[in-house]
């Protein structure tokens, strides 16, 4: 699913919630939800979307509009699989919070406590085509910095699909921070990958196995996985 479609999918959930909170007067109070989403499909803003409105007790509305495959014109179904992409970030934070609840780590622990390669980090300063100034980090980055995107970690200059999280964080740790820890906010996929590696080190399980065993299975999330089977 294209990035634009994923962004609009998130918007559809918000739209459904707003319609629910406003209390439509029609016989079906949620009839406007698929109608509104269909307009986005018709204008080629999105290829399709699933909308769900629920209370803590029950599902009030579930609908699907558009197509899941533009080439075959396959209609989107409410139980179709979506690529959640960066929605794995809050799942990673939940995993860290679970380990904190178990007393196995603290949010304010320095990352280097679990990943020694993050000791003695440097911060990038002024830079020209010929040189780059570096300064020592004022303090170590913490797990909280990673969770709130305030660590200063940059993104990958190069990656490989076969890298493990252990390999990825070693590459990250060699790069200078973009700013002093805790002084700015900057969205960081690399920072969340680092948290994933911390989960592995602290739990003694691979990242995907921890989430499957400790989060997905207990919650009955039978269609959430990192490795999609042919079925």
CA atoms in the 13 A half-sphere facing the CB of 106: 4
Better pLDDT: 137 or 8: 137
Task: For the chain, list the domains and their CATH numbers.
Answer: 3-83 (no CATH), 87-219 (3.40.710.10)
| Predicted local distance difference test score (pLDDT) of residue 95 | 98
Q: What is the DSSP letter of 76?
A: P
Q: How many residues does the chain have?
A: 231
Starting at the earlier edge strand, list the strands of the sheet with 59-69.
48-54, 59-69, 74-75
Per residue in 70-91, pLDDT tens?
999 999 999 998 888 899 999 9
Place of tokens 């170590």: 140
pLDDT, one tens digit per residue, over 151-181 is: 999 888 777 888 899 999 999 999 999 999 9
What's the pLDDT score for residue 125?
Answer: 84
User: Helices H, strands E: what count in the chain?
Assistant: 8, 5
Does the pLDDT value for residue 107 go beyond 60?
A: yes
Q: What are phi and psi of 148, to 5 degrees?
A: -105, 10
CA–CA separation, 29 and 49 (whole Å): 19
| Alpha carbon distance 144, 153 (integer Å) | 13
Question: 77, 18, 14, 68: which is closest to 41 by C-alpha?
Answer: 68
């Amino acid at each position: 699913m294209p990035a634009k479609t994923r962004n609009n999918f998130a918007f559809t959930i918000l739209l459904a919630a707003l319609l629910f909170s406003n209390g439509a007067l029609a016989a079906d109070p949620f009839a406007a939800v698929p109608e509104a989403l269909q307009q986005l499909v018709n204008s080629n803003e999105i290829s399709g979307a699933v909308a769900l409105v629920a209370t803590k007790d029950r599902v009030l509305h579930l609908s699907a509009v558009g197509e899941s495959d533009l080439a075959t014109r396959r209609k989107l179904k409410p139980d179709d699989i979506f690529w959640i992409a960066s929605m794995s970030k809050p799942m990673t934070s939940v995993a860290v919070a679970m380990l904190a609840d178990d007393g196995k780590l603290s949010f304010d622990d320095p990352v280097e406590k679990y990943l020694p390669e993050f000791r003695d980090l440097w911060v990038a300063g002024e830079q020209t085509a010929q040189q780059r100034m570096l300064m020592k980090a004022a303090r170590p980055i913490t797990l909280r910095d990673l969770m709130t995107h305030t660590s200063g970690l940059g993104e990958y200059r190069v990656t490989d699909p076969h890298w493990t999280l252990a390999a990825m964080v070693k590459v990250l740790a060699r790069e200078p921070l973009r700013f002093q820890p805790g002084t700015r906010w900057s969205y960081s996929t690399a920072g969340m990958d680092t948290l994933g590696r911390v989960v592995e080190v602290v739990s003694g399980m691979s990242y995907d196995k921890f989430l499957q065993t400790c989060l997905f299975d207990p919650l009955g999330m039978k269609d959430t996985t990192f490795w999609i089977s042919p079925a």
